[in-house]
A and B are shown apart, each in its own frame.
Chain A
Amino acid sequence: DTGVSQDPRHKITKRGQNVTFRCDPISEHNRLYWYRQTLGQGPEFLTYFQNEAQLEKSRLLSDRFSAERPKGSFSTLEIQRTEQGDSAMYLCASSFLNQPQHFGDGTRLSIL
């Protein structure tokens, strides 16, 4: 079990720029989840995949956000035209079906 890996750990960008984050789940896990966490709050669900299919997107996920998991392995989360309000920790988690989720270290996004 090598754990869930996220890259980069930190991203600082100017408002209006596009950013992309990557998540590598635990290899035998078929589900992959993205969450967002802001200061003083618990993680909030954004979207999840089962294998390569994106099965649900939260209303928190505006049109500027897109996620992919093209081969059912790693996933990317892209934010276009970043805004100040996008500053947060973006967490990835994986699981085998409804088993407990394993979380990565997260990507901290700061918008200047």
Chain B
Amino acid sequence: AQSVSQHNHHVILSEAASLELGCNYSYGGTVNLFWYVQYPGQHLQLLLKYFSGDPLVKGIKGFEAEFIKSKFSFNLRKPSVQWSDTAEYFCAVPSTGGGNKLTFGTGTQLKVEL
């Protein structure tokens, strides 16, 4: 079965600091990869996705992620965070067996301080 690991459970940064959140998945075949974000009091929203092609994908609000197949990783990055980026971030990958049902990591709670 597919599994997803997010290494950082809580991250606290000051505004303008750079961000990198780790995500590793277990399946070695063709994968689609997702980062979702949940702002306080809101529903999960798609931040960015990788289906194929350029391994560096750009999402909304200045976020990007790099797919490194050899490392089974899909780390999320942002050069300069803002207070409004305070949220919980989830990495997800479709489970094996079809249907595009998602396996999520445990999430990373990011707090950006002014």
A interface residues with partner B (beta carbon < 8 Å): 3-4, 31, 33, 35, 40-45, 48, 50, 55-56, 91, 93, 95, 97-98, 100-106
Q: Which of A56, A91, A105 contacts B97 (CB 8 A)?
A: A56
7 additional A-B residue pairs with CB within 8 Å, beyond A4-B43, A42-B4, A45-B101: A31-B100, A33-B102, A43-B104, A91-B44, A101-B46, A105-B43, A106-B43
Contact B104–A56 (Cβ < 8 Å)? no
Most B Cβ at <10 Å: residue of A103, A105, A106: A103
Shortest CB distance A1–B (Å): 12
Interface size class of B (residues with CB under 8 A): 20 to 34
Contact A42 B92 (CB under 8 A): yes
Flag if A43 contacts B102 (CB, 8 Å).
yes
Decide: A42 and B99 in contact? CB cutoff 8 A: no
